[in-house]
A and B are shown apart, each in its own frame.
Chain A
């Protein structure tokens, strides 16, 4: 398994601002995944982050809105840029050591 932490756990932000979410894993992993879970909804993959290369974004998500960093094998950040109320969601990072995917505790974001 993997121990995953995220910061912040929750935040309330004003529209037009940006928030950077951090994800830390207790072991080195090749890929880290960022998901969004809108209220009462399922999980939607935003992007996959590999160290040393640009993240791969899913349809409907773009780098300008959700820039991602992956400076090493245990850490990644996701920035939600120029936020609007529609960005209010839970953002979860995920890792997959040994073909099983584990999730972080999530960051609950409310945009006013």
Chain B
């Protein structure tokens, strides 16, 4: 199966600064990479995703980059706000499969 590693496990930034979370995956056949945000006591919510035929995708303050050769992808949050504080999970899905393999999560704290 797929193995997804995520770093760092915790990240603290000052409000207004940028945050970067990185993930690596093991199966070169994986072709779909979503990012989820989970606030305390709530369900994971999809915030952005990228497919293997695209190198970068942006949605307002959030962007994801994918390096297929190196098998890693990253989440970038610019101009962070206190409401960005949450646990973020990356995931990967193998070609032809339906289930997602999740990273271990990053607890992001944005300090006002």
Chain B residue contacts of A18, Cβ below 8 A: none
The reply to whether A103 and B43 contact each other, CB–CB distance below 8 Å, is: yes
CA distance in complex: A86, B99 (Å): 24
B43–A92 touching, CB < 8 Å = yes
Chain B 76-112 interface 0/1 with A at a Cβ cutoff of 8 Å (1 = within): 0000000000000100000000111111110000000
**Chain A residues whose C-beta falls within 8 Å of the C-beta of B44 in the assembled complex:** 43, 92, 103
Interface residues on chain B, size class: 10 to 19
Question: Which interface class (under 10, 10 to 19, 20 to 34, 35 or more) fits A?
Answer: 20 to 34
A43 and B102 contact, CB distance less than 8 A: yes
A48 touches B43 (CB 8 A): no
Cβ contact within 8 Å between B89 and A99: no
Closest to B100 in A: A101
Within 8 A of B (CB), among A17-76: 31, 33, 41-45, 48, 58-59
Contacts A42-B104, A99-B32, A100-B34 given; does A106 touch B43 at CB 8 Å: yes
- Which residues of the partner chain B approach A103 to less than 8 Å between Cβ atoms? 36, 43-45
By the criterion CB–CB under 8 Å, are B43 and A42 in contact? no
* B46, B103, B104: residue with the most chain A Cβ atoms closer than 10 Å: B46
